[in-house]
Structures are given as structure tokens and as C-alpha cells.
Amino acid sequence: MNNANDNGQFNVRLSIVYLLVAAAFVVVLVRAVYLKTAEKDFWVSLEQQRILRDKELLAKRGDIYAIDSESGEYLLLATTEPQYDVYVDLGGGKVLKKGKEIFELTISEQKFNEGFNGLCDSLSKMLSYRSNAKSSAYYRKYFKQKRKQGRRYVLVAQKVSQEELERMKTFPVIGYKNEKKKRYAFVGAVHYEEGYKRVYPYFPMARRTIGINVTNNGCDTCYNGIDGAFSKYLTGIHGTRKERKINKDEWVPIDVNEKIKTIDGYDVVTTLDVSLQELAENSLRSCLDSNDAESGCVVLMEVETGYVRAISSLTLNKDGEYVENDNIAISHSFEPGSTFKIVTAMMLLDKGFADISDSVPTGVKYFNGSEKPIRDVGEVNRGLVSFERALEISSNVGISQLVYNIYGRSDRRKEFRKDLMEYFRFERLNMDIDVHEPAPKIKSSENMTDLLRMSFGYVSSVTPLQMLTFYNAIANNGKMVKPMFVQSIISNGKEIERFEPEVINEKICKQETRDKIHNVLKGVVQNGTGRRLKSASYGIAGKSGTAEIGYEKKNASIQHRASFVGYFPADSPKYSCIVVISRPQKNRTHGGDLAAPVFRDLSDRVVGTRIDFNNISRNDSLVQFPIIRYGNNKDFVAFCKSLGLIATSVNAQWVRGKEFDGKCVLREQKLSDGRVPNVVGLSIKDAVYMLENMGMRVRFSGKGKVVKQSVAAGSKIDKKHNLIVLELQTAGAKTNKTEK
């Protein structure tokens, strides 16, 4: 009886277990069906996220150009070149063959073994120039190991150029010749990823102005300079492609055609002129080197537009080389010295506090309330001179006297700083370039010594470009414009946006004041501290400056900062320029002696090569050929045409010509390598072009054609002493040159 009851209870329990298992099975089944239907999209998406991804494809960054202001031709300053990472599949997978599932290698064992050594040798040879170059033995060991592991995505070469990529298509194992298309190609097992690198054809020219990548993490948009400021135009629109995960950290493209294409960035056209930029850097470097200076900068700007045509900043590095590590002209501010006297003079004249004819003392003078005497350079006492003459000779005492007369009382001292700030814009220029620019500063002080020193460029700080902007306004008849580094945006050669000059101040002072200051600046060059520039036939107006460095420290060795800022041609200004040389250790230390020659190198080149300065009348041209002449072929043909003569055709850059039977007979003029050419009779444009291409520095005086050269034709060119001075004269003018 008991056994029957026990069996009954056991059967009940077993039934319950069966029911529970069945119920669980039904629940699982229902859940599976639910997941497969209602939540199918979610789980498929989750799986795809694990094995699929969208890989970003970088767009080609736009180019940065300079314009050759003579020819109008675009010249590349920065461009983007493709570079590639090349991978090969050394593994394989299961495929059906004759109804059977077998494992098949992507690259057969036979093909791999036959071409293996050739592949390793070719890679080693092609990449031997790299600092991390690998031997053939290294590649053999590397590929054997990856092959043994069955790796599906093996790096063959990293960051190869387009040319190297094409060469790799001829390598064994990974490449083959497509007989049908008559060209080489990669085998199907090879994949490559395209990236980009920034290339600078004129590197290191203006590197801090053009801009560099400021990170080391491959950031495509992390640039400074022009490259950074215009990144929104240059960057372009990135694309994507689908990739599948095949191993840990290994992804391959699913379909090369299944992608969102990239759109290249726009191109930027700068205001820089490559030939002037090159001259500016070379002239600055030569000056720094010969005077053992610590650093220096030069900026050349177009007066009317504010276009910066050349800018260079060089600093002596630990290896004894001058390099552009900082954009000194924009990002460094310092006490300007005597170039600031013109700001003080403009304010005094414009407010009617002084006149250009007022008499002022010179030499050395103690002023009531000042802790120290005010001294002129050399402490030369010229007695009483006019205010105009005091500015020409850069007298600290003279300008201090006028400031003392007006602002010397304790209740007036605050007003001096306030009045100066009306005329010099103590604000950042906020230009179209991603470079840190400090705001100009002027000390707020009622101390008499500070007050007087403020008048001639101490206890204040400005950047060279901020100072140039002020002088450029004087040249521009009182209108102040913002310096500009970019003039337009283009795409496929078509202009899509142009940036017009921006006026900061329509009139910085009264016209009468501007004209007086202009005459003072001309006088500085003709009669004062800028006399080294006096011989320039086109006329230069400007101001020299010499500031002491370290004067405020006791027992410190006094260093100097020399500068010259001005514009040319003096009576019809087209360009303004500033040169600053810091801490020269030998030879000259004053602005008129040290910085002015760099200014002259640039101004001569601009005048000598820019058509708008060469307005030589038809009367200056020869109307016949009394002697054999030579010059640039293209110019010579145009010259002959202007005389109504037909020129013979010659395939040469430089030609000699003479008139014969109503024609211009031209023959090639060969130049001797390493020898000074004869440039007598040439236009200054041709002479400068020819001589500079042969490594010479050129200066000239006068107008018209070359009638005399300081270094005899045929002389061996001395690379260290390569200056040649040319004398120009218009046709028909009297000359002391003996006719032979």
C-alpha cells in the first residue's frame, strides 16, 4: 500500500518537472522567435557594429599659393601629397572546390616562395634612404613569421609616395603586369590606404607665416599661420568607407566602390611674393651673420592695400644657424626706440603744441623732476636746432624738451599717455593669420623720467608689424589699413571669394600734420641718421631707431636693438618696410647703419623689377641700333616690335641683337658660369634678374639703362663679396663715361 502511494507521488512530481521543462522550452522558443522577428534589426545592427565600421577618409587639404606679381603666375607655398600604407593578405579562407570545402591561401605557396626573396630585396632597396631602413634579411624573417601565423592584413610599407606605390606594383608576389591594359597592378591580395602629408616646395621660406602642424598626433586641421587661419576653407569634406573586422585590430575594405567620396579643400592665394620673400630672407640672414646678431625680422608691405609681400623672422639657434622658429615680426613686442619719436611728433604737431620750426636743445640735459639726465647718442651738443632737425638727427633731448614744456607739470603728466594713444593704435591688429599677437602697451606712469623716455620709445612695447602699420598710414596719405596675408580663395583655378583691403582709420591726423611728418622722414634720409639710403634715386623716407636692451638692470651689459622703418618711392609711396636687428655683437649697432642696408636691398629689388616703377618714356629707348645690344629674348622681341622691326627667332633666354637690312638680327648670348656678365646697356629689370640668378646682390643708382657696373665683366664671382653696384642713365643724358 505504501509503495503504491510512493509511486503515485513520484509520478506527480515527475509530471510537474516535465511540465516545467516544457514551459521553459516554450518560453525560450517564443523568445527566440521574438528576437528573430521583432528585434531582428536591433541584433543584426549590434553584430554589424562589432564586425563592421565606417572608416573616415580624409579629404585632400587645399593648396596655399603666392602670386608672382610680375607674371601673375601662381607659385605653390604649401600643398598636400598622397602617401600610402600598403598591406598584403598572407592568410586565406575556406572555399568550395569540386563540391568540397578546402582551405585556400590568398597567395599560393608556390607564388610566395618563387618571389619571396625578390620582394624582400626590392623593398629594402627602395626604402634604403629612410632613417629606419630595414635589410632584406629583416623582411624575410618578418614575412615568414606573418605567413606562418596566417595573418590577413600584413603591413608591407608605410607612408610611401605615389611614385613608390607605382614601383611596388612591379615587385614580385604583390604585383604583376596586366598585359591587356599594358601596365602594372597589384594582385588582389594587396590593399592600400591613402593618407596625406603637407609639403612645402620653398621650405623653410616663411614657414611660420605659411603655418606648420602644431601637434604630433596626425591632426589634419591643427595648423597655425595662414594654414590655421583659413582651415575652414582648406580642410574640405571628409568621406567614409565600409570595413570588416578580420582579426583583432585588423580591418579590410568590403567594397572599394561602396564609399562616400571626399571633396577636396579650397585653395588659398596669399599676398606673398616669392622672389621678394627670398631676397628678404637672404638679406636679413646676411646682415645677422655678418654682425653676429641674436635675431631679426623684416616686413615689406604694399602701401595702399596693406598686402604683406615679404616677411621673415630669423633667430640664432644652438647650432649657430639662423632659423625661423618664431614669427618675431608679429608675435614679439619690445621697446621701439627712436622710431616712436614720430608718434610723439605727430601728436605734438596735430594738437598745436609745437611747430616744426621750434628751437630745441641737443646733447645732454637735466630736466626738473627727472632722476637721470636725458642724453643724445654720443652726447653731441649741436646747440639749439629746429624741431625738424632734431628729428632728422634723432635727438632725445630735443623731443624731451617739447614734451616737458607741455606735460611737465604734475597735473598734466597723465594726459601725455592719453594723447599718445589717440595717434598710435594701442590695440591688436587681429590679422588674417593664426599667430599670437600681443597688444601694444604703454606704461601708465606720472614719473618724470618715464614721461620723457616714453617720448622717444621706452617704457612702451609694440611689435614690428604694429609699428610698420603706423608708418604705412603716413605713406598712405594718413589712411591706416590692416596688414593682409591672404587676398583670395580659389577652386580649380576659379576665384570664389576675394578679401578687400580693410581700413582701420580713414585719417590718423590732419593733412597738414601728415605732410610735415612726411617731409621730416624724407629729411632723415637726406640729412640725418638715414643717410646711408640717400643715394637711392627713387627716394626713401623713413626713421631709424636704436633701443638699449638691459638698461634697467644694474651692472648689466648693454645690448642694442637697431631698426629702420619707412617707405618708397618717397614722393609716390608704393611700399613700406621695417627691419629690426636685435643684439648685434660686432660692427654696427645703430639703426641707420645696421638695419638700413637690409631695407635698401629690398627697395632696390622692388624698384628694379616692378613694372610700375619703370615708367621709362619712349624717348629713353633707342630708335636705332648704333651698337650691338643684348638682353632678355622676350623683351628684346617686344623692343624690336616697338621700332617697327621684325626680330629673327632664336631659342635662347638671353640674346644679342643688331639692326640689319630693316630687321632685328638676334643671336644667343651665352653666359660664363661663375663669371660676372656684362650688363651695360641692359634695362635694370634684366640686369637684376641676370645677376641675381648668378648669385650676386645688386644695388643701383639713377634711372634708365645700365651704363656702368662696379665689378668688371668676366671677373670671377666671389660668393662672400658678391655685391655689384650699377649706374643707370636715360638715353641722351650727359655722362662722364668715355665713349670708345
Task: State pLDDT tens for residues 359-393.
Answer: 999 999 999 999 899 999 877 788 999 999 999 99
Are residues 452 and 310 part of one domain?
yes
Please compute the mean of the pLDDT values over residues 174-185 and round it to a whole number. Answer: 83
Answer whether residue 436 is part of any domain: yes
Per-residue confidence (pLDDT) for residue 657, from 0 to 100: 67
Please state, in angstroms and rounded to a whole number, the distance separating the CA atoms of residues 464 and 419: 22
Please compute the mean of the pLDDT values over residues 411-440 and round it to a whole number. Answer: 92
Among 107-111, 366-370, 472-476, 609-613, the minimum mean pLDDT is found in 609-613
Are residues 631 and 724 part of one domain?
yes
pLDDT in tens, 29-83: 776 666 566 655 555 554 555 577 777 777 888 999 998 766 677 888 988 888 8
| Residue 33 cell numbers, joined | 522567435
Answer whether residue 510 is part of any domain: yes
Per-residue confidence (pLDDT) for residue 672, from 0 to 100: 64
Are residues 171 and 309 part of one domain?
no
| Residue 88 cell numbers, joined | 598584403
Among 288-297, 587-596, 718-727, the minimum mean pLDDT is found in 718-727
Per-residue confidence (pLDDT) for residue 740, from 0 to 100: 33
Answer whether residue 211 is part of any domain: no
Higher pLDDT, 340 or 206: 340
Answer whether residue 59 is part of any domain: no
Are residues 594 and 629 part of one domain?
no
Burial of 273 (0-12, 13-18, 19+ CB in 10 A): buried
Q: Does the structure show a pLDDT above 50 at 626? A: no
**CATH no. for residue 389?**
3.40.710.10
End residue of a domain, out of 596, 611, 626: 611
The closest of 602, 287, 285 to 468, measured between CA atoms, is: 602
pLDDT in tens, 116-145: 899 999 999 999 998 889 999 999 999 888
Please state, in angstroms and rounded to a whole number, the distance separating the CA atoms of residues 284 and 294: 12
Are residues 466 and 386 part of one domain?
yes
For residue 668, the Cα-to-chain-centroid distance in whole angstroms is: 38
The closest of 197, 196, 269, 201 to 233, measured between CA atoms, is: 269
Domain count, the chain: 4
Q: Does the structure show a pLDDT above 70 at 628? A: no
Higher pLDDT, 564 or 99: 564
Per-residue confidence (pLDDT) for residue 221, from 0 to 100: 59
Answer whether residue 96 is part of any domain: yes
End residue of a domain, out of 170, 188, 206: 188
End residue of a domain, out of 585, 611, 637: 611
Q: What is the DSSP letter of 379?
A: G
Among 19-33, 311-325, 646-660, the minimum mean pLDDT is found in 646-660
Please compute the mean of the pLDDT values over residues 156-177 and round it to a whole number. Answer: 90
Are residues 158 and 49 part of one domain?
no
Are residues 592 and 704 part of one domain?
no
pLDDT in tens, 667-724: 777 666 677 888 877 777 778 877 877 778 887 777 777 888 888 776 778 776 778 8
Are residues 517 and 416 part of one domain?
yes
| Residue 58 cell numbers, joined | 580624409
Are residues 625 and 561 part of one domain?
no
Q: What is the DSSP letter of 155?
A: E
Please compute the mean of the pLDDT values over residues 176-187 and round it to a whole number. Answer: 82
Place of cell 623716455: 453
The single-letter code of the amino acid at 604 is D
Are residues 150 and 23 part of one domain?
no
Answer whether residue 78 is part of any domain: no
103 — pLDDT class (breaks 50, 70, 90) = low
The pTM of this model reads 0.74
691: region left, alpha or beta (phi > 0 left; psi from -120 to 50 alpha): alpha
Can you give the C-alpha Rg of the chain in angstroms? 38
Domain housing 655: 616-729
**CATH no. for residue 718?**
3.30.10.20
Question: In terms of DSSP bridges, do strands 503-505 and 575-582 run parallel, antiparallel, or are they unpaired?
Answer: unpaired
CA dihedral (13, 18, 24, 30) in degrees, to 10, reads -150
The closest of 361, 365, 363, 394 to 381, measured between CA atoms, is: 363
Answer whether residue 267 is part of any domain: no
Higher pLDDT, 563 or 669: 563
Please state, in angstroms and rounded to a whole number, the distance separating the CA atoms of residues 238 and 228: 18
Are residues 525 and 658 part of one domain?
no
Q: What is the mean pLDDT of the chain?
A: 83
Please compute the mean of the pLDDT values over residues 407-412 and round it to a whole number. Answer: 91
Q: Does the structure show a pLDDT above 80 at 423? A: yes
Are residues 664 and 599 part of one domain?
no
Per-residue confidence (pLDDT) for residue 477, from 0 to 100: 97
Q: Does the structure show a pLDDT above 70 at 571? A: yes
Higher pLDDT, 477 or 410: 477
112 — pLDDT class (breaks 50, 70, 90) = confident
Q: Does the structure show a pLDDT above 70 at 659? A: no
Going 331 to 334 to 339 to 342, the CA torsion angle's sign is positive
Please compute the mean of the pLDDT values over residues 437-444 and round it to a whole number. Answer: 93
Among 271-285, 423-437, 486-500, 542-556, the minimum mean pLDDT is found in 542-556
CB atoms within 10 A of CB 568: 29
